[in-house]
Structure 1
């Protein structure tokens, strides 16, 4: 009989991940190919062009003011209630929880921490790049604009680029980035594009962002998704470091020491290789003393070998009234013939 240590919930999770330490063969890690580098360079040039067009107060700023004066929320008020809920798909907190739950299940199924670590790296890049651009340019929103026709730059605002739009592109686009098949990647790319496009236009409808904020938010989110393959080696190092930290915590003295077994309890047998012989350990503590059965009457009892055999008297067959004993005389049988 073997006894095993009781594992905690965290130990069960890592045991699940240890069951298949290698990444599944059908899941490929995107690499920074030449095609991706070209797309990244084109998106970066587009990003810089949008920033320059707003800084110099070009036709794009005039288009921002025209859309703002159009006031879409007054033109179509019947969809206002629905879009108030739809814009939540671009908020960082709710979307991060939903996507992290799905990617956590993916990590459990694929026995790897890469999906969750990739999401964390993408959100970290999003906060650094978009946050720095927001507070660096300090553009005011439509509701806080001061001068009609101006670009409202360096006024202490934080809306350029649109955080809702960039977050929608990154959070929902990470599902397509981590897709395991080309077909799933195409469908998820289309779904994330439609979702992020709708979130960006919803912010313009509600009047919380300029149109140029949304366009720059799309470019900012796409830049992060295109640059993720450059960070794959760091993600792999972080995953290996987490497992090393787990192993060091397990190896600390007193971390997994089992409680002392009671006297007479079965001793656990250590598993060994097939070629090695398993050593047999003697049970600890004094040997158990034999106890008399509880159903015996009190008093001295002799062993079976010391008892004198007793032969039962008489026949062991039960008496029958219709049978005649062999010792009794029977009447003479009639003689046939004559």
Structure 2
């Protein structure tokens, strides 16, 4: 009696993925609703408030200096090696490769380029907006501060807002943006918020960013995710152009690909020739043909050729009948001239 194999959790996951639709009829595309517009406006106001608070050297700048003098990396040195690895979750290169691999698999699975194009659009917006803010405000980091209590603005730095924090928000948040179900979207949004805040606080612990840098980086990443629905028409246009170019190239060059000739001979050692099944035995009720041909009179004459007898299966040594020792060697025949196996056969007819 057969038993079902014990499936692991990974096997059940791939079995569930295999049951998904190859091409969803209606992909979930977020739209710029009133709720999203309200969140975008509130986040933009928070962004502007942080910038104004730093420019005016308010209480937020004093808090930045207090945390810098506190030196968290000296207060808890035992967690320093672990946070050095954790902060990699905010670096653009490694995180982009990991997320692009997953979204590439989804693109191949669903036969659509939208996941990869959405990731590319979000990273492009991140580089343009955050990079412009960094260069435009030019704030120096804690390790390069020149005057205690100053905001260190327009000094040629590039740490305001925090790129690690903004990149963590966008790179991991794009998974929530592209989620297919509301439950997955909630879970991935929570995961993105925890990872991005953790990465930002890790940079404060290591002393590479002010606290205000982290807050502004978090707001910058959220603004990009909230603004993505405005770029959905551009993403759809890019996908249509890429697929149309692919079809055009296939129509132009597809017929020039080498194809096997219909009359080509199959090599003797090929797998197809070896795997050819033998012809099935005949099941007709007609009597089988005789395989043994009766010898003719000319073949039975002395000196004539020996008749052709049907080949019998060769018996092994264990299958041969036992013979006495005296019968193992045949006596020589003097009348046998050039013929093996005994005297000439007697002819059937006279002559």
CA contact (8 A) 2:22 2:109 kept: no
Structure 2 CA distance for aligned equivalents of residues 48 and 203 of structure 1 = 22
TM-score of the pair, normalised by structure 2: 0.68
The 3 A distance-change label for structure 1 pair 198 and 101 is: same
How does the TM-score come out when normalised to structure 1?
0.70
Q: Once the two structures are superposed, what CA deviation does each residue of 1:80-121 show, in whole Å capped at 9, x if it has no partner? A: 000000000000000000000111111111111100100000
Structure 1 consecutive aligned stretches of length 4 or more whose deviation exceeds 4 Å: 20-23, 258-266, 310-313
Match of 2:255 in 1: 256
Q: Which residue of 2 aligns with 1:24?
A: 25
Q: Is the 8 A contact 2:22 2:110 kept in 1?
A: no
Paired residues of 2:73 and 2:207 also in contact (CA < 8 A):
yes
CA distance in 2, matches of 1:61, 1:233: 41
The 5-angstrom pairing of residues 214-293 of structure 1 reads 214-252=214-252, 256-259=255-258, 264-265=263-264
Note if contact 1:64-1:212 (Cα within 8 Å) is conserved in structure 2.
Answer: yes
Q: Deviations over 1:253-280 (max 9, x none)?
A: x5531448769449xxxxxxxxxxxxxx
Structure 2, unmatched stretches of 5+, are 1-20, 266-293, 298-351
State the 1:73 CA deviation: 0.3
- The change in CA–CA distance for 1:264 and 1:206 in structure 2 (over 3 A counts) is closer
Tell me the distance in 1 between the aligned counterparts of 2:185 and 2:263.
60
Mapped partners of 1:182, 1:172: distance in 2: 16
Mapped partners of 1:189, 1:311: distance in 2: 94
Shift of 1:247: 1.8
Q: For each residue in 1:221-242, what CA deviation from the matched residue of structure 2 results, as whole angstroms up to 9, or x when unmatched?
A: 0000000011111000000010
TM-aligned CA distance change 1:105 to 1:258, over 3 Å: closer
Q: Distance in 2 between matches of 1:174 and 1:264?
A: 53
Q: 8 Å contact 1:23–1:112 — kept in the other structure?
A: no
Which residue is equivalent to 2:189? 189
Q: Are the counterparts in 2 of residues 167 and 221 from structure 1 also a CA contact under 8 Å?
A: yes
Quote the residue 2:325 is aligned against.
none
Closer/same/farther in 2, CA of residues 210 and 263 from structure 1, 3 Å limit: closer
Alignment of 1:297-316 (within 5 A): none
Higher relative contact order (CA 8 A, sep 6+): 1
Are the counterparts in 2 of residues 24 and 110 from structure 1 also a CA contact under 8 Å?
no
> Match of 1:208, SS?
coil
Deviation, structure 1 residue 251: 3.1
Whole-angstrom CA distance in 1 between matches of 2:28 and 2:242: 22
- Give the Cα separation in 2 of the matches to 1:67 and 1:250: 60
SS of 2:66's equivalent in the other structure is helix
1-structure distance, mates of 2:201, 2:239 = 37
Alpha-carbon spacing, 1:74–1:260, altered in 2? closer, same or farther (3 Å): closer
- 1:142 aligns with 142
Q: Which has the larger displacement, 145-154 or 106-115?
A: 106-115
Match of 2:333 in 1: none
Against the structure 1 CA distance between its residues 59 and 111, is the aligned structure 2 distance closer, same or farther, given a 3 Å change threshold?
A: same
Q: Partner of 1:232: helix, strand, or coil?
A: helix
Distance 1:206 1:261 in 2: 63
The CA deviation at 1:248 is 2.2
The count of aligned residue pairs is 250
Is the Cα contact below 8 Å between 1:140 and 1:156 reproduced in 2?
A: yes
CA RMSD of aligned residues (A): 2.1
**Match of 1:317?**
none
* TM-aligned CA distance change 1:259 to 1:101, over 3 Å: closer
1:83 touches 1:202 (CA, 8 Å); kept in 2?
A: yes
Question: 8 Å contact 2:23–2:110 — kept in the other structure?
Answer: no
* Structure 1 equivalent of residue 35 of structure 2: 35
1:140-219 counterparts in 2 under 5 A?
140-219=140-219
Name the counterpart of 2:10. Answer: none
**SS, match of residue 256 in structure 1:** helix
Any idea what the Cα deviations from partners look like across 1:31-60, whole Å, max 9, x if unmatched?
000000000000001101100110111111
* Residue 76 of structure 1: how far off its partner (Å): 0.5
